[in-house]
Amino acid sequence: MAFLELNDVWFEVNGKAIVREVSLSPPPGSFLALIGPNGSGKTTVIRLLAGLLLPTRGVAYLEGRDLRQWSRREVARKVAVVPQDTHLDFAFTVRDIVAMGRHAHLGRFQPEGAHDRAVIEQAMARADILDLRARLVTELSGGERQRVLIARSLATEAPTILLDEPTASLDVAHALETYELCRRLAREGKTIVMAVHDLNAAARYADRVAVMQGGRCVAQGRPEEVMNERLLADVFGVQVEMYRSRGGWMSFVFHLGPVAAEVAEYPR
């Protein structure tokens, strides 16, 4: 049984369908990349999986139970969310923010124990922010704040982590580290679902890909099954070339117009 599942889910706002007929069931221990143009429904799917939005039609399941039957505290122990918006208004330290990931496991006035402190330290280390621990989050760059939120999600010890375009504010090195970390977490048994704009990263790091277009999931499967030139050209409205990198993974080059002859010489 899939840990998280959307079964023929619709989500409507004022009678307009934002997401329609979406069925997803990422296998436990997998890294699922959601790809698609802006406005295709990726963020809405993330929020539906997290229980932050409730389907207008269809059912979202967590461990085989309708998400409506779970309390927010119960869901927080099972599913961690890294939002796209990294805006943090209050002058908490980095460590304070990461420690908030333990709230679902502690009583209202219960202090941190040795295990909590160890989990917080490990989460900061894995997100490469130990050197920022005493800094105020209001003083950090957008990329640094995103890494703090990733560390907070790790501190929950939730078996599923949902990430909404977490690399949008990161430099190349930290973006790659984030993809590598998510792949390692999946191999350790966590279920990772990430909305991704970088199609080359999705092809390289994800176990599975779900393609969103106009609120529907139009294809899903292993990257090599789903990510072909014709489908990507149709979904994104661009010309697409696919070739194999030196490492053997699929890579794509995109063009707004016809491919110029001098550009069409990439090895396949």
Q: Which domain holds residue 136?
A: 88-156
pLDDT band at 264 (very low <50, low <70, confident <90, very high): very low
Those residues whose C-beta lies under 8 Å from the C-beta of residue 66, and which sit 6 or more positions away, are 59, 60
pLDDT tens digits, 113-169: 999 999 999 999 999 999 999 999 999 988 898 899 999 999 999 999 999 999 888
CA atoms within 13 A on the CB side of 151: 29
Q: Would residue 14 be called left, alpha or beta, if left means φ above 0 and alpha means ψ between -120 and 50 degrees?
A: left
% of the chain beyond a pLDDT of 90: 78
Q: Report which of residues 170 and 223 the model is more confident about.
A: 223
Looking at the fold, whether 96 and 61 belong to one and the same domain comes out as: no
Domains of the chain: total: 2
Residue 262 pLDDT greater than 50, yes or no: no
**Residues, the chain, total?**
268
Looking at the fold, whether 63 and 170 belong to one and the same domain comes out as: yes
pLDDT of residue 265: 43
For the residues 27-43, what does the mean pLDDT come to? 95
Looking at the fold, whether 110 and 149 belong to one and the same domain comes out as: yes
Whether residue 203 lies inside any domain: the answer is: yes
